[in-house]
Chain A
Amino acid sequence: RDRSVRTFYARMPSVGKTAETRIGKTVSDAKVNSLFDSYKDPHEDLILTEGIERLCADLSLSPDDFKVLILAWKLDAGQMCRFTRDEFVGGCRSLGVESVRAIKEKLPEIATQVASNPDVFKDLYRFTFRFGLDNTVGQRILPIETAVILWRLVFTVREPPILERWLRFLDKHRDVFRGVPRDTWNMFLNFSEAVGDDLSVYDDTEAWPSVFDDFVEFDNDQANQNISNKDKDSDCIVR
């Protein structure tokens, strides 16, 4: 009977922390540890690329799925393609899961929460930057390529209307920028919320990182070109 109640609660959409912690108490460290061991690298006490691929396969997820990002976030992973034992065990405990199946059930639930709650999303968003940095070389700035991939991934939910234009702009100027610093990453969320779909409301006297000035200017130039091209086209038609 006890068990059926637990599964009942587990299937319920999360009702905040109380539910999680209540379940968390019942998670067995031994089970989670053995779960970790089943994916861990033979030589190091870490789950590395190969283990992550297996884990993803068991979760029936592609490694670049949004839910994998959520898992990494919930496990508070310090770096891509690597889980430490502490991260994994601590994360599973706070999620209240001890099996692949439980994880699989939990992830969609968190995904809806992320999609509906801006504060939760902001937390994930900020995590994503830290997650993307390559700690082994002491990276403090995301390379443009990584940044573009991560932006696409994190905005699987709550995609801002401006995203595609922004990414196109970055792609065209990948030689000019040395990368995306933390401030730019964080401020892009504010930026996208501030401008919505309409860059004309952008005010360059506010404290935006200058790359947004460049972006808006670039976008305006493009728009103007389009207009003048259209004008030319219509001229041709008239003639």
Chain B
Amino acid sequence: MSLKPKRVDFQETWLELKETVNAVITLGNVPRSTWNDRFTDVYSLCVAYPEPLADKLYLETRKFLDFHVKALLEKVKSSGDNNLLRTYYYAWTEYSQGINYLHRLYSYLNQQHIKKQKLSEAEIIYGNITPGDDEQMEIGELGLEIWKVDMIEPLESKLVKLLLEGIHQDRIGESQSSSSEIIKGVIHSFVGVQEYRKKDKLQLYKQIFEAPFLETTGEYYRREASKYLQECNVSQYMEKVTLRLNEESLRCHHFLHCSSYNAVRAKCEEEMVAGHLQFLHSECEAMVTEERKNDLKNMYPLLHAVHGGLSFLVNHVMLHIRQQGLNAVTDHYGENMHIQFVESMLSVHKKYKQLIQDVFQSDQAFMSALDKACSYVINHRPNSKMPCRSPELLAKYCDSLLKKSSKGLSESEIDDKLSNSITIFKYIDDKDVFQKFYSRMLARRLIHQQSQSMDAEEAMINRLKQACGYEFTNKLHRMFTDISVSNDLNNKFSTFLKHDNIDLGINFSIYVLQAGAWPLGQANITSFTLPQELVKSVQMFENFYHNHFSGRKLTWLHHLCQGELKLCYLKKPYIVTMQVFQMAILLLFETTNSLVCSELQSTLQLNSDQFNKYITSLVDCKLLLSSSESITADTTLTLNMEYSNKRTRLRITTAMQKESPQELEQTVTAVDEDRKLYLQAAIVRIMKSRKILRHNALIQEVLSQSKAFAPAISMIKKCIEALIDKQYIERTPNSSDEYSYVA
């Protein structure tokens, strides 16, 4: 066989070719050899000498296909309306497959002749050139185009009507399984017939089928919805709607082209959900307050799908959680208030977080509703005149966990509870207030060695740091390191003593604390004459310390110190741990058995408040006997030689370790002062870098910079005024709404 162009008799070749074409298109039996010969014929015609016969071949083929399809149309039509879909479907199946083969038989024509004259893809998509009518198409495309024009267009309205009826039958459950394949096939033929197109492949499908389908679907479900509305309550309605939506979605997947899934769903939702939002919303509140999980589970996807449908539900969920939260945290009084507060708030948080996970698929909108509600509850002030107590309660809660004697909880349980408490911490607006309370309590734990475990303390500080940043926990960290540095210092001090052969006469250990980091007010400092027994220790330590760190000033906080005293004058010896002031009092009884208060006080130089307090504590624990009911200057105190106790090691406590109401108030005012300073510093910083700023812009900047607390606008304003007054900033001359930095 030669590939050389040769003279070809068109008529003769075409007659032969046509026969094969007919066989191919009707899926008749075409032997391999015949196929090969005709394939060559197509080639020969295309390259025929003296002139190629490709155009002629194309025309004849088109004529043939045209004729063939028209014949098929007659056949389909004649089968009657009842069988129309079926016969169409079979004709299409045969034809579409046949045309596919034919396309391959004409490969040479397609590849060499037609492709060359075609516009490139880019030209079609980006240029505004539309292919002209007389442009030649590849055979496959040609065949489909002919099918579209000769078959689909004449039958269009009938086909679509029958399809819609068929689908309707399926919806009401009266379809035969055999017809569903046919319906699907017919629908897909609208897509298939344009699959060769480069753009708008789905144009025909969308135009002749999808649009009417959506319309009837909408109508159908509108009717269904109004039917349900009459006979159902909201829960039943939602169940039905959910069911119908799922069914329709399945149906859609079965029958339709995938491009339609979303549109169909949206249409159904529009008719059954969006159209009846008020009806659905009417029940939201009750569902939420009664926490009807099933209903809510049904409600969520329905409303979620509708634009703006969800916010109503979100808002009710928020209100509900808020109410539940308020119910849970109010009405706690007494000793364990802090534990009840934190734990009930946590359980509310946990419960609704779970609910949102289960019912609302952890939707972000609901999560932020939860946050909003929790933050409202936690920062809620029952009395607007009083500061919010949450920071204090949370700090107390942490304290109770970190202190020794936390009621038989295991280490991991404590750890869990502490990490949970961070959840509450994050919601607190006044984090600086929390910090103040926390540092006070931490100070007490550290100084009085009440910490359960230093690891737990450090872990908690690190958690706070993680949640609120380094600046926030800076002081806490410094307190913590002071303690460990002090341990080293004590070791060094005792080596120093050993080295210089100094005997203090007592065991002595000390904490050196940085004044800036510790919340130890100087308020409690009283004049005090150190007992002789302690003088040497104090002096030696001061010498030692000043040698190491010259220029540092040590202030002795005797009111925070304690000592152990061994009582040997009683029937059996007792070892008593007590405050240094109490010890100082008892040490004066070393040489005598009774003293008058005025003498005692003039020796010790304690102020009368403190003096009375410590005397009372010693009288209360029966180590001393008092000559009068109340302590006055003339009261004589006598050692109780009859003292006895079952335990030989004991500790005398005083009331001072409790947080007093004044201290509470002090904390609040201290926080307020800190805030003002912080805000003023922030304003100056901002103004220094911006030079000129409008009032509102400045306020916004300040708000965005303060993370540890939410400053009140009025407070920011007052700080701005204070700075104007101090001439750090001024109003610009041309606008009273603008400030400028005064360098």
Contact = CB atoms under 8 A, between A and B. Distances in A.
Interface of A: 140-141, 181-184, 187, 190, 205-207, 209-210, 213
Contacts of B724: 181, 183
Given A182-B725, A207-B695, A207-B736, 14 more contacts: A181-B721, A181-B724, A183-B721, A183-B724, A187-B731, A187-B736, A206-B696, A206-B737, A207-B731, A207-B738, A207-B739, A209-B721, A210-B714, A213-B714
A206 B720 CA distance: 13
Contacts of A187: 731, 736
Contacts of A206: 695-696, 737
B426 interface: no
B718 interface: yes
B717 interface: yes
A174 B725 CA distance: 19
Contacts of B718: 210
A207 B725 contact: no
Contacts of B725: 140-141, 181-183
Interface string B648-663: 0000000000000000
A214 to B, nearest CB: 9
Contacts of A209: 717, 721
B685 to A, nearest CB: 19
Interface string B699-743: 000000000000001100110110011000001000011110000
Nearest first, the 7 closest Cβ-Cβ pairs linking A and B are: A207-B695, A210-B717, A207-B737, A183-B724, A181-B725, A190-B736, A210-B718
A24 to B, nearest CB: 29
Nearest to B717: A210
Given A183-B731, A207-B695, A213 B737 contact: no
B530 to A, nearest CB: 44
Contacts of B721: 181, 183-184, 209-210
A101 B313 CA distance: 83
B696 A205 contact: yes
B354 to A, nearest CB: 40
Contacts of B720: 207
B740 to A, nearest CB: 12
B587 to A, nearest CB: 51
Which bracket fits the contact residues of B? 10 to 19
17 contacts: A140-B725, A181-B721, A183-B721, A183-B724, A183-B725, A183-B731, A184-B721, A187-B731, A190-B736, A205-B713, A206-B695, A206-B696, A207-B736, A207-B738, A207-B739, A210-B717, A213-B717
A183 B729 CA distance: 11
A141 B696 CA distance: 26
Interface in B660-697: 694-696
A27 B714 CA distance: 54
Q: Determine chain B's interface SS by DSSP, over half rule.
A: helix
Contacts of A182: 725
A82 to B, nearest CB: 25
A213 B720 CA distance: 14
A181 B730 CA distance: 13
A221 to B, nearest CB: 15
A210 B724 CA distance: 13
Nearest to B719: A210
A2 B738 CA distance: 53
Q: Which of A190, A207, A209, A210 has the most CB of B within 10 A?
A: A207
Contacts of A140: 725
Contacts of B731: 183, 187, 207
A209 B738 CA distance: 13
A30 B696 CA distance: 56
Contacts of B695: 206-207
A189 to B, nearest CB: 10
Contacts of A184: 721
A181 B717 CA distance: 14
Nearest to B738: A207
Contacts of B738: 207
Nearest to B694: A207
Nearest to A213: B714
Nearest to A194: B736
Nearest to A182: B725
A213 B724 CA distance: 17
Nearest to A187: B736
Contacts of B736: 187, 190, 207
B716 to A, nearest CB: 9
A171 B355 CA distance: 57
A206 B724 CA distance: 16
Contacts of A190: 736
A76 B738 CA distance: 29
A209 B714 CA distance: 9
Contacts of B739: 207
A211 to B, nearest CB: 8
Nearest to B736: A190
A53 to B, nearest CB: 34
Nearest to A141: B725
A209 B720 CA distance: 9
A141 B724 CA distance: 12
Contacts of B717: 209-210, 213
B733 to A, nearest CB: 11
B302 to A, nearest CB: 40
Contacts of A210: 714, 717-718, 721
A210 B722 CA distance: 11
A129 to B, nearest CB: 13
A190 B736 CA distance: 8
A51 B500 CA distance: 82
Nearest to A181: B725
A126 B737 CA distance: 18
B718 to A, nearest CB: 5
A181 B720 CA distance: 13
B534 to A, nearest CB: 47
A113 to B, nearest CB: 23
A233 B725 CA distance: 46
Contacts of A213: 714, 717
A64 B695 CA distance: 38
A187 B736 CA distance: 8
Nearest to B739: A207
B542 to A, nearest CB: 43
A171 B119 CA distance: 90
